[in-house]
Amino acid sequence: MFHARDAQASPPVIRREDYAPPAYWIDTVDLSFDLDPTKTRVLNRMRVRRNAEQPPQPLRLDGDELNLARVLVNGQGTSFKMDGDQLVLDGLPDEFDLEIFTTCNPEKNTKLMGLYLSQDTFFTQCEAEGFRRITYFLDRPDVMASFSVTLRADRKRFPVLLSNGNLVEQGVLEDGRHFAKWVDPHRKPCYLFAIVAGCLAAREQRIVTESGSEHLLQIYVRPGDLDKTEHAMQSLMHSVAWDEARFGLKLDLERFMVVATSDFNMGAMENKGLNIFNTKYVLASPATATDVDFDGIESVIGHEYFHNWTGNRVTCRDWFQLSLKEGLTVFRDQEFSMDLARTASARAVKRIEDVRVLRTVQFPEDAGPMAHPVRPDQYAEINNFYTVTVYEKGAEVVRMYQTLLGREGFAKGLALYFERHDGQAVTCDDFAQAMSDANPGSTLALHLDQFKRWYSQAGTPRVTAVGQYDAEGQRYTLTLSQTCPATPGQAEKQPFVIPVIAGLVAPGQGDLAVSLHGGEPATAHTLVLTEPSQQFVFERVTAEPVPSLLRGFSAPVVLNQDLSDAELLALLAQDSDPFNAWEAGQRLLMRQLLAAVTGAGDLAAPLQADAVAALRSTLRRSDLDAAFKALVLTLPTESYLAEQLADVDPQRVHAVREAARRQLARDLAADWAWAFDEHEDNGSYRPDPVSSGRRSLAGLALGMLVELARETGDSVWPGKAYQRTKDAGNMTDRYAATAALVNAGHALAQPALTRFHDLFADDALVIDKWFALQAAAPDRGGDALGRVEALLRHPDFNARNPNRARSLIFSFTGNPAAFHRTDGAGYTFWREQLLAIDAFNPQVAARLARALDRWKKLAEPYRSAAHGELQKVAAHPSLSKDVREIVEKALA
Ligand code: PHE
Ligand code: ZN
């Protein structure tokens, strides 16, 4: 199936509206593997049944890079055709046994999809369409089968043989080989299939759940890494307990396994009972992992575990429904981390961090050439749609159900969803319907069709708020209106259902208890905006208030609200909602930074005195957590600043933000010194939110103090930082100290980096940090690209390892002032690396291709230079369809 055009035809597009149920069902699959690095033999015996509800047609099985040796129908040789990569069988009975024998070459599998080798261990990755690289199959999520698997391999080299479900038999074979047979008691789509074979050791934990069932939890790693699995195991135990406590969802397997590999395209994969993880999200010790890593492990372990229900027990009908499992599961892992955080302040910190990701990554995606709805309508390559829109915006959509229905209503909806759909492959509509049906009469139920526009319309809605206070009538009238910008293929948008949590803050008094449209007085109300424009009237408003809107970021929108500096300062100091207190500070900083970028502001000191003073008093407050303070005192990112501008000069944005950082370093010098001394801990390391918040603030302070030393010539703070790179008790502090020197371009950076490398030469995840730190450091005098090119030749660099490629190349393209050079050399580097990686791993290359998504927003000379490089990529004769889809959209 190829749309005949020219030699480099656009890849064919798959459309959601073309969905048709499968023509055949596969009820059982019995796989047997003779594992061999260069030639693995796969015997696949299936029980197949025609789907009587579909018109009779040939059976078309998907395959990719397979060598086909034999096909038997009911034990008899049969004729077949190949149509591209598909194996086509015609004239079949209504029910039959199908036996297919193929071979593949795991060692040559550089795409890391299907069966591959990593450090002499076999792994599989099947989502989304990798199973077809293992055997011919109906590789689509609505075909669910019962799997049994026999693995045979050399006993010495591959002592551990794993697959989904339960181990039912194992034994020794001739010629030094052995075997293991696994049976998965749950039907599943083939994207959840997995095997692992190699030399691994496991941390094991037996647990008894709240409801009394017993399970074995195992975390498999390379034997030398066992001492780095404690945090992952703790996180897994917490996940099991949390899902049962919060949603009544129990572990449905006797044995739950997690296996770590250092070669993995993504973060982790929820294969039934056999999750496969990037080592980055399993391995941690205080000496080698930062607080951010510890948090990442907790949330990814949670995420994959929670997929066991949201994704595996109920799966997706087709890949357009990806957010059905991903948005819901991200929401669940976010809630998990927030519930574990325990204090209100730590919950807010987690929320702020999640929103920051949404705004710095998803908002740009939603405004660029790859903008797509949470439930996309079409794709050329599904791997390109594992996006922040499907994941993070999808999670915000799920969060809005909870905001509209309340925690209990949401839990009821989820319970109904499982009651109706357990064991099925379903759609986002089915989820929405369950939420609504479980809550009849709710606002959601009343506006369900309109609410579902969150799934079908791309783009970030804009909400504008205008308020008017009537002192005499003690009445405050708030007018909210909404619009949504056009996105590719969607010129006009219909209004969304937007929950806006609102409070009224009276300066000096705090939250006012007010009544909305005559209802019960309360300090917060959920306003539901459904019309293009709507008025909300608050009564008993005893003082002129500052409206605190979109508390907790109650909807994924841009809020336009004309607040004065004084009003923002009041919210920063007094809003009872910590998210909005942080938000007010960010708005104030953003306003002043943008003024400096567009020319009106002062480049030497972009921030105004009252803003700096407010940051100082926040820093000095005794009633706030350190983690929260660190967030308030961190300037908006360059990419978020750039998004606010029509015509972006990345060098100018960088210069302004750096100037503001220097100003904060200077103006708050005494306060940073105080903050460092006050928050530095020398006790034993614990990754809890309170102590990690202290480290975060101390690290921020140290960075500021070393930055300031560049100007003053002070050697005390750089000396302290250098000392810390030597004697820090944990990686968080060591990394922060090293980063402080590297980011300031201090002469001590080089010896610190050398030591760092020597100390951790054998730890790949730490060496990743070593590369990333250097690639992300500010460009001083245009030397960043040269530094990165030199690192590319470092003996430890290897682009075939995705983590390593990300740590150097992606960190560089994510470093705006280093990447966006007036001579365009950063873009040339990007093209060369992109094409090199595309030749062996299209999925990773396609992610790198996204670095120039927003080229049309760039000012000259960046814009033309970026355009030129994109065109060169598009003209390359042998692009993967992954990269082709991205660059064609960027150029459209
Ligand atoms: N489904 C995985 C997740 O949890 C992501 C993934 C997709 C991993 C494709 C590998 C390949 O989010
Ligand atoms: Zn997921």
Q: Is the CB of 386 under 6 A from ligand 1?
A: yes
- Supply the pLDDT for residue 601: 63
Which ligand 1 atom is at minimum distance from the Cα of 128?
Answer: 9
C-beta 270 within 6 A of ligand 1: yes
CB of residue 299 inside a 6 A radius of ligand 1: no
User: Quick check: CB of 351 below 6 Å from ligand 1?
Assistant: no
Domains of the chain in sequence order: 33-45+60-69+98-307 (3.30.2010.30), 314-455 (1.10.390.10), 462-562 (2.60.40.1840), 563-712 (1.25.50.10)
Ligand 1 binding pocket mutation candidate from 123, 239, 270 (most atoms within 8 A of CB): 270
* Sequence-separated (6 or more) residues with CB below 8 Å from residue 754: none
Dist. CA 858 → ligand 1 center (Å): 32
Which residues sit opposite 315 in a β-bridge?
Answer: 425
The whole-angstrom separation of Cα 91 and Cα 78 is 10
**What is the residue-wise DSSP string for 21-42?**
--SEEEEEEEEEEE--SS-EEE
CA of 157 to the centre of ligand 2 (A): 32
The amino acid occupying position 45 is: R
Q: Is the CB of 192 under 6 A from ligand 1?
A: no
Residue 304 Cα to ligand 2 midpoint, Å, equals 6
Residue 6 has a pLDDT of: 47
Q: How far is the CA of 328 from the centre of ligand 2 (A)?
A: 9
Q: Supply the residue whose CA is at minimum distance from atom 4 of ligand 1.
A: 269
Question: 371 CA to middle of ligand 1, Å?
Answer: 20
218 lines ligand 1 (CB under 6 A): no
303 lines ligand 1 (CB under 6 A): yes
Ligand 1 atom closest to Cα of residue 391: 12
Look up residue 320 and give its two tokens. 């357009």
Closest CA to ligand 1's atom 7? 127
Q: Are 642 and 852 in contact (CB under 8 A)?
A: no
State the distance from the centre of ligand 2 to the C-alpha of 372, rounded, in angstroms. Answer: 18
User: What are the DSSP E strand ranges found in 246-384?
Assistant: 255-261, 268-269, 274-278, 315-316, 378-379
The ligand whose atoms approach the alpha carbon of 386 most closely is 1
Beta bridge partners of 59: 89
Question: Residue 535 in contact with residue 485, Cβ under 8 Å?
Answer: no
What per-residue confidence (pLDDT) applies to 682? 72
Ligand 1: which atom is nearest the Cα of residue 383? 9
**Cβ of 801: how many Cβ atoms within 10 Å?**
20
pLDDT tens-digit readout, 204-241: 999 999 899 999 999 999 999 999 999 999 999 999 99
707 lines ligand 1 (CB under 6 A): no
Cα(341)–Cα(529) distance, integer angstroms: 31
Ligand 1 and 125: CB distance under 6 A: yes
Residue nearest to atom 8 of ligand 1 (CA): 269
Q: Which ligand is nearest to the CA of 327?
A: 2
- The total number of residues shown for the chain amounts to 892
Residues lower than pLDDT 50 in the chain: 1-7
Which ligand is located closest to the Cα atom of residue 326? 2
For residue 269 and ligand 1, the question of a CB distance below 6 A is answered with yes
Span from the CA of 331 to the centroid of ligand 2 (angstroms): 10
Q: Count Cβ atoms below 10 Å from residue 71 Cβ, excluding itself.
A: 19
From the CA of 267, give the closest atom in ligand 1: 8
Q: Establish whether residue 833 lines the binding site of ligand 1, counting it when its CB lies within 6 angstroms of any ligand atom.
A: no
Distance 396 CA to ligand 1 centre (A): 19
Q: Output DSSP code: residue 522.
A: B
| Catalytic-role residue among 304, 567, 583, 707 | 304
Quote the CA–CA distance of 737 and 722 in Å, as a whole number.
7
Cα(128) to centroid(ligand 1), Å: 8
User: What radius of gyration do the chain's Cα atoms show?
Assistant: 28
| Beta carbon of 333 within 6 Å of any ligand 1 atom | no
Q: Which ligand is nearest to the CA of 330?
A: 2
- Say how many Å lie between the CA of residue 125 and the centre of ligand 1: 9
Mutation probe of ligand 1 site: the residue of 127, 263, 276, 382 with most atoms within 8 A of C-beta = 127
Does the beta carbon of 266 sit less than 6 angstroms from any atom of ligand 1? yes
**Any idea which residue has 């209504």 for tokens?**
94
Cβ–Cβ under 8 Å, residues 487 and 376: no
The pTM for the full model equals: 0.98
Rounded-to-integer distance, Cα 670 and Cα 668, Å: 6
What are the angstrom distances between the C-alpha of 138 and each of 30, 145, 515, 597? 14, 10, 58, 54
Residues 6+ apart with CB under 8 A from 809: 775, 788, 799, 833, 837, 848
Nearest-atom index, ligand 1, CA of 386: 7
Q: What is the complex's ipTM, to 2 decimals?
A: 0.99
Check if 733 has its Cβ closer than 6 Å to any atom of ligand 1: no
Query: Is 274 in contact with 194 (CB distance < 8 Å)?
Result: yes
pLDDT at 372: 98
824: left (phi over 0), alpha (psi -120 to 50) or beta: left
- Before 861, cis peptide (omega within 30)? yes
Ligand that lies nearest to the alpha carbon of residue 271, given by its number in the listed order: 1
Is residue 95 annotated as part of the catalytic site, yes or no?
A: no
C-alpha neighbours within 13 Å on the C-beta side of residue 527: 31
Which of 269, 274, 391, 882 maximizes ligand 1 atoms within 8 Å of its Cβ, making it the mutation to test the pocket?
A: 269
